[in-house]
Amino acid sequence: MFRRRPINTHGPISGLVLRRFCRNPMAMASFFFILLGILLAVLGYLITPDSTPHANHQQLELATHKPGHKATLLLVTKNQQPGTVSLVEKMISGKPSDYSTIAIRQYWFEGAWLYYETYAGQPGYPGLENRIWLPDVVFSIEPDQETAPVINDSITFIAFGGERHTKPIEQLREMVRGYHIDTRKFL
């Protein structure tokens, strides 16, 4: 009445196990789910939106908003030597950001300065007005440097490492508009 099917024992036992495993759809789905988990664990910081160490790059002013909120950020280059991190080190612990971010409501230029109004966290509340020297936004500069006067619509400054630069103000403004003002949608 209940007969067992004969087992084909020709060939290695691993082939038999593999054939039986491949015939079971639940086992195959579980296998691919485990592979996906391993892939996500190995890639880690390479695929996360926040690849800073401990995924701790957050804006407190924006943390209380609902998902889908848009905000304008000012990316200010940190005054330090840009860090180099190997691929393995980035996968394990992330890479420190080269920028400090400031949530802003609006910005404008006056001479060699970028003025901005910080985002207070709630619509309708005015933020604090502040200013930052244009080369300090775009370049990593020496920390104890005095702000240089504008000569012929150009600014001379010393970058981190002692290199002297002279840049036109309009070029610095375009660099700020193009690369250092970012509108992001937070999920």
For the segment 95-146, what is each residue's pLDDT rounded down to a tens digit? 888 888 888 989 999 988 899 998 887 777 888 899 998 888 888 887 777 7
Q: Report which of 46, 139, 143, 134 is spatially closest to residue 98, judged by C-alpha positions.
A: 139
For the segment 33-73, what is each residue's pLDDT rounded down to a tens digit? 999 999 988 887 788 777 777 777 777 777 778 888 888 89
Distance CA 165, CA 139 (A): 10
pLDDT at residue 46, rounded to an integer: 80
pLDDT at residue 158, rounded to an integer: 83
Q: What is the mean pLDDT of the chain?
A: 83
pLDDT at residue 1, rounded to an integer: 59
* Phi–psi pair at 129, nearest 5 degrees: -90, 140
pLDDT surpassing 90 at residue 8: no
For the segment 72-97, what is each residue's pLDDT rounded down to a tens digit? 899 998 887 777 888 888 887 778 88
pLDDT at residue 33, rounded to an integer: 96
Burial of 144 (0-12, 13-18, 19+ CB in 10 A): exposed
DSSP states of the chain as a string?
--PPPPP---S-HHHHHHHHHHH-HHHHHHHHHHHHHHHHHHHGGGTSS--SGGG----TTTTTSPTTEEEEEEEEEPSSPPP---HHHHHHH----SEEEEEEEEEEEETTEEEEEE--SSTTS---EEEEEHHHHHS-B-TTPPPPPPBTTEEEEEBTTS-EEEEEHHHHHHHIIIIIEEEEEE-
pLDDT surpassing 80 at residue 147: no
Contact 95, 45 (CB under 8 A): yes
Contact 111, 125 (CB under 8 A): no
Distance CA 92, CA 72 (A): 30
Q: pTM higher than 0.85 for the full model?
A: no
Distance CA 103, CA 66 (A): 16
Report strand pairing: 69-77 vs 99-110. antiparallel
Q: What is the mean pLDDT of residues 17-31?
A: 86
